[in-house]
Amino acid sequence: MGKLSASILSADLAHLADQVKLVDEHADVIHVDVMDAHFVPPLTIGPIVVAALRPHTDRTLHGHLMVEAPEALFDELSEAGMDVVSFHVEAVADPAPVIAKARGAGMGVGLTVSPETPIESVFPYLEDVDDVMVMSMHPGRAGRAFIPEALPKVESVRGELARRGLSADVEVDGGVKLDNARRCVEAGANVLVAASAIFQAEDLAAAARDLKAIVEAA
């Protein structure tokens, strides 16, 4: 069953709980972009805001860690109520111990690849992760254009998972809109991340509902 993940980066963060409540009927996951001003320029959201949001939704909270030292945040994020963390394969020298540390902190774990990174870089770890997130935009901000070269990477990792009898989630993150969502799903994604397509829409709930309908039909 496909899932919709609502990225709060484009939400009105002064009213975060209310914004999340508007969409979480249709969004299975709330995607939290954690950026440290080093791995990518902006400084965004950390454990304190995650803890504040946690009582307001029972949806999975998935942290997308665009930070240089993801393992340094695991304990605090877990205590704040984060359910799953994904970190960038480009950010660490050896993903294996970092994956183990996230599990040790009690969270699900995934790997993320930036647009310039070959998808094969996550293949050695597929047995150990719950999630592979393929970025279809350069990380750092919401609202950038969708990079279609992400789609063959989605196909490739979905094929490799199937070949090994694995069923990890495959996500597409970046520039996902109503007009490209179906292509992402057809390529093998079962989770679509969307920020501006949901939170910049006139009717947030309707935008989430329409995207969910596409990924659900997968």
- Which residues make up the interface to ligand DX5 (CB under 6 A)? 7, 9-10, 31, 33, 64, 137, 139-140, 142-144, 173-176, 193-197
Nearer to Zn ion, 174 or 188 (CB): 174
Q: Which position among 24, 28, 169, 173 bears the catalytic label?
A: 173
Among 28, 33, 130, 169, binds Zn ion (CB under 5 A): 33
Place of tokens 């359910």: 83
DSSP 27: -
Residue 173 known to be catalytic? yes
Q: Which position among 33, 36, 131, 169 bears the catalytic label?
A: 33
Nearer to Zn ion, 68 or 104 (CB): 68
CB neighbour list of residue 4: distance below 8 Å, 6 or more residues apart: 26, 27, 28, 29, 191, 192, 194, 208, 211, 212, 215
CB of 53 within 8 A of CB of 17? yes
Nearer to ligand DX5, 96 or 145 (CB): 145
* Other CB atoms within 10 Å distance of the CB of residue 165: 6
Which residues contact Zn ion by CB under 5 A?
A: 33, 64, 173
Q: Provide the annotated active-site residues.
A: 33, 173
